[in-house]
């Protein structure tokens, strides 16, 4: 009997070359060996049994935590390699989404709404990894419940594949920073740009601060849809325009340009990681290089950036200062905040030393002349 289905991976992984059927009789040790060898397991048993097997595979992988490297950068790269291996092995446990996005497994939840939000309307039977599907289900709950953000006077509802504003310190920095001279006296007449808006949270903060018009840009269709959804939920659609500018910047100039680029110069391996990793600091450099040409007189650019990359040896403060100077910019001021997320105090985290020392900064930048 031949069984066919469409393969889908949000991480862009190729379809496994070898697949066998697995069910509740499959032992965790056997499943682990096969997954490490590159054989995928198509689960046809009980849904809760599949989740238990995934946890068992994860426990075996946790025993293989890499040793710290000689430098923070080496430790980071070893950690990334281990995470990549973990993702590949756990991604070998597969399930079938029927042609209506349902799971035909015993005790399976109704995942149709979650899958439609993440993947779009159902078209055909599809095979996905259980690990990815659990991420889709989790994202659906985040989207349904929302993330309370006091600075916007409500909640932000992240969509699948869009980085959630769970780290509130960078939002609070934008809510508290002094507005530039070009905005003083008439914020309702001022225009701001929010570059790489994601969920739209910073555009919403600017609207709550009285900016009359904010143009929020992003290149991700998911982010654009997410930002538009949040703008409408918050009732600020008359003050925030969400658009795909093609490039990072929209046309024209603004009194304030805000950018919260991914903080680590490394290559993302999934859609969600694009909010964390910026290969070769490309977005950061594009923001800096274009800023002077998009500011009105008396305007400022606000760069929100963590120094975690510096503590990991991935970027130096001198390199950041040189990038400011090369773009013809000067630092007006800098506001700092310590992280409040749990991982900053988790001593078991391989990157704990760097995370404990991390500071998130809002750099107020203006043209040097």
Q: How far is CA 104 from CA 45, 96, 125, in A?
A: 10, 8, 11
Is 204 within 8 Å of 242 (Cβ atoms)? no
| Single pTM value for the model | 0.91
Same domain, 216 and 334: yes
Q: Which of 143, 163, 184 is the last residue of a domain?
A: 143
Query: Quick one: pLDDT at residue 342?
Result: 64
Angle (deg, nearest 10), helices 317-326 and 282-291? 40
Determine how β-strand 191-195 pairs with β-strand 213-217: parallel
* Domain of residue 212, residue span: 146-367
Can you give the CATH number for the domain in which 176 is found? Answer: 3.40.50.150
Whole-angstrom distance, CA of residue 230 vs CA of residue 199 = 7
Query: Quick one: pLDDT at residue 270?
Result: 67
Dmax over CA atoms of the chain, in Å, equals 74
Query: Angle CA(131)–CA(137)–CA(140) in degrees, nearest 5?
Result: 145
Same domain, 75 and 191: no
Same domain, 332 and 204: yes
Query: Quick one: pLDDT at residue 68?
Result: 86
Same domain, 222 and 159: yes
Same domain, 128 and 152: no
- What total of structural domains would you count in the chain? 2
Whole-angstrom distance, CA of residue 361 vs CA of residue 7 = 42
Strands (E), 52-180: 93-97, 126-129, 147-149, 154-156
Counting as low any pLDDT under 50, the low residues of the chain are: none
Same domain, 236 and 349: yes
Is 97 within 8 Å of 120 (Cβ atoms)? no
Query: Quick one: pLDDT at residue 1?
Result: 59
Q: Please, which residues have CB within 8 angstroms of residue 37's CB and are 6 or more apart in sequence? A: none
Same domain, 177 and 299: yes
Same domain, 157 and 134: no
Q: Give the up-direction half-sphere exposure of residue 136: CA atoms within 13 A in the CB hemisphere.
A: 24
Same domain, 175 and 124: no
Which candidate, 135, 132, 62, 37, places its Cα nearest to that of 91?
Answer: 132
Q: Is residue 1 part of a domain?
A: no
Whole-angstrom distance, CA of residue 47 vs CA of residue 185 = 60
Rg (alpha carbons) of the chain, rounded to whole number: 23
Q: Which of 75, 108, 143 is the last residue of a domain?
A: 143
Same domain, 127 and 162: no
Whole-angstrom distance, CA of residue 367 vs CA of residue 219 = 26
């Amino acid at each position: 009997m031949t069984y066919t289905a469409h393969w889908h991976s949000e991480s862009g992984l190729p379809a496994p070359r070898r697949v066998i059927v697995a069910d509740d009789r499959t032992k965790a040790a056997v499943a682990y060996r096969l997954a490490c060898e590159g054989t995928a397991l198509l689960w046809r048993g009980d849904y809760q049994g599949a989740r238990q097997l995934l946890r068992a595979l994860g426990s075996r992988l946790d025993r293989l935590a890499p040793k710290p490297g000689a430098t923070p950068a080496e430790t980071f790269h070893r950690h990334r390699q281990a995470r990549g291996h973990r993702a590949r092995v756990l991604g070998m446990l597969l399930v079938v989404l029927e042609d209506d996005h349902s799971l035909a497994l015993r005790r399976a939840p109704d995942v149709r709404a979650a899958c439609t939000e993440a993947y779009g309307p159902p078209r055909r039977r599809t095979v996905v990894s259980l690990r990815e599907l659990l991420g889709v289900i989790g994202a659906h709950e985040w989207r349904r419940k929302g993330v309370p953000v006091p600075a916007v006077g409500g909640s932000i509802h992240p969509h699948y594949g869009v980085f959630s504003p769970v780290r509130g310190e960078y939002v609070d920095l934008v809510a508290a920073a002094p507005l530039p001279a070009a905005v003083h006296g008439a914020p309702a007449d001022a225009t701001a740009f929010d570059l790489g808006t994601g969920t739209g949270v910073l555009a919403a903060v600017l609207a709550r601060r009285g900016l009359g018009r904010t143009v929020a840009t992003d290149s991700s269709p998911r982010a654009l849809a997410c930002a538009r959804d949040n703008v409408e939920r918050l009732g600020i659609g008359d003050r925030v325009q969400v658009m795909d500018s093609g490039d990072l910047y929209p046309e024209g100039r603004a009194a304030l340009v805000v950018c919260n680029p991914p903080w680590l110069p490394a290559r993302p391996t999934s859609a969600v990681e694009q909010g964390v990793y910026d290969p070769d600091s490309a977005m950061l450099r594009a923001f800096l290089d274009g800023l002077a040409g998009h500011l009105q007189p008396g305007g400022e650019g606000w760069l929100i950036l963590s120094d975690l990359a510096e503590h990991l040896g991935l970027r130096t403060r001198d390199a950041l200062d040189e990038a400011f100077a090369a773009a013809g910019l000067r630092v007006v001021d800098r506001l700092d905040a310590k992280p409040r997320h749990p991982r900053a105090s988790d001593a078991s985290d391989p990157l704990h030393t760097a995370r404990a020392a991390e500071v998130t900064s809002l750099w107020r930048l203006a043209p040097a002349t």
